[in-house]
Structure 1
Amino acid sequence: MLENFWFNVKIGIDHILDINGYDHVLFLMVLAVPYVFKDWKRVLVLVSIFTIGHSISLILGAYDVVTVNGKLVEFLIPITILIAAIYNVFTAGKKDRGNKIGLLFFTTLFFGLIHGLGFAREFNMISDNSLVFLLEFALGIEIAQVIIVFVVLFLGFLCQTIFRFSRRDWVMVLSAIVIGLVIPMVIQSDLLN
């Protein structure tokens, strides 16, 4: 029983940390980059809201409650990353980011729903789509996301303390890199070709 639990959790972790599926990592990077270690609670809440969103759509998709065109989902996932990265570029260094928490949480949940539809497409290829497996898989995803966010916060700490990047510059540079990586994903989408 415990062996199956860890196996299923590991599937979720491996799914996120797979180098070929780096779109999820890019989204987490732009989600976390505006924050520093002292904001860890807010970042953890955002990541958890994202997990709730994609877990809901994963479960609905796995049980065929919701079906969406796969090409549309594969187009929308990089669009969510692009929107988040552009938002960071335009709000980097602004002091009022905390005032729009409700909108940020809602947007993160909505983007999680979209990303979860991508998981659901892949999940339908797995024979075991029991609710327990889905939840264990989601736990693995959450663990991997926390690891990625911790790495982004740690790199931000290093760049801002050792290399003396301003917080604004760190957000702008990392967000610009993500934009550069995600634009080809949007252009090469099957929906556009």
Structure 2
Amino acid sequence: MSSVFQTYMELGFHHIFDFGAYDHMLFLLALSAIYTLSDWRKVIALVTSFTIGHSITLALSTFNILKFDTALIEFLIPVTILITCITNFFKLKGAATKQHPIWSLHNLMAIFFGLIHGMGFSNFLRSLLGRSSHVWEQLLAFNIGIELGQLLIVTILLVIGYLVMNLFHAKKRDWIMVLSSMAAGIALILIMETSIF
């Protein structure tokens, strides 16, 4: 692995854990809230769907093919979190027994919302790239780093959920409600703090 590739993969990995960009972690929390540890394959598919989405707009933005209003993206990112939480609330009925297919409309939603989040990542990446001749390599490495970081985040969330539901005997429905309500509340605050308002 080249030093350039490794450097940008590490940048992507650490960026997803940057508390200055915690809105992306919050989205992952909302996205995976309805799943349990036994659903890990579905969660990987979901996270990868999100990565596909943000990789597309991240690439388009990096090469200046796609231009957008930064204030609008800062508004739309918490909106994606809020919408995801609202869909979780609609899934509360029967949450304890419902089986989720590996590929579903949830994955399409993750791809679509990933397109929006990719534009949020792009400003950070553009500031790093400059006039590099290894843009494609750096872009790929950065996205792989983000994917690995996202997988670690959802793994931690699934393990915590497993412990809460099995050691403390919390109901799955209640766990989904707590996570989704918390994420929705923070998303509303972020929406109100954007320059659009």
Provide the residue aligned with 1:66 in structure 2. Answer: 66
- Separation in structure 1 between the aligned mates of residue 38 and residue 101 of structure 2, nearest angstrom: 17
For these two proteins, the number of residue pairs brought into alignment is 192
- Maintained 8 Å contact 1:30/1:178: yes
- Is 1:125 aligned with 2:127? yes
Q: Which moved more, 1:175-184 or 1:143-152?
A: 175-184
- Is 1:102 aligned with 2:104? yes
Q: Which moved more, 1:148-157 or 1:117-126?
A: 117-126
Residue segments in structure 2 that go unaligned for 5+ positions in a row: none
Residue segments in structure 1 that go unaligned for 5+ positions in a row: none
- Separation in structure 1 between the aligned mates of residue 84 and residue 6 of structure 2, nearest angstrom: 32
Q: How does 1:52-63 map to 2 (within 5 A)?
A: 52-63=52-63
- Maintained 8 Å contact 1:13/1:141: yes
Provide the residue aligned with 1:42 in structure 2. Answer: 42
Provide the residue aligned with 2:179 in structure 1. Answer: 174
- Is 1:147 aligned with 2:152? yes
* Identity percentage of aligned residues: 38
- Separation in structure 1 between the aligned mates of residue 120 and residue 159 of structure 2, nearest angstrom: 28
- Separation in structure 2 between the aligned mates of residue 111 and residue 117 of structure 1, nearest angstrom: 10
- TM-score, length of structure 2 as denominator length: 0.92
Partner AA of 2:51 in structure 1: T
Provide the alpha-carbon RMSD of the alignment: 1.7
User: Structure 1 residues 84 and 97 mapped into 2: Cα distance closer, same or farther (>3 Å)?
Assistant: farther
- Maintained 8 Å contact 2:41/2:102: no
User: Structure 1 residues 99 and 39 mapped into 2: Cα distance closer, same or farther (>3 Å)?
Assistant: closer
Q: Which moved more, 1:96-105 or 1:82-91?
A: 96-105
User: Structure 1 residues 67 and 97 mapped into 2: Cα distance closer, same or farther (>3 Å)?
Assistant: farther
Cα deviation 1:148-177 (Å, max 9, x = unaligned): 000110010011001111000000001111
Partner AA of 1:28 in structure 2: L
**SS of the residue 1:22 aligns to:** helix
Cα deviation 1:108-143 (Å, max 9, x = unaligned): 100000000111122222214701100000000000
User: Structure 1 residues 97 and 73 mapped into 2: Cα distance closer, same or farther (>3 Å)?
Assistant: farther
Provide the residue aligned with 1:75 in structure 2. Answer: 75
- TM-score, length of structure 1 as denominator length: 0.94
Partner AA of 1:137 in structure 2: F
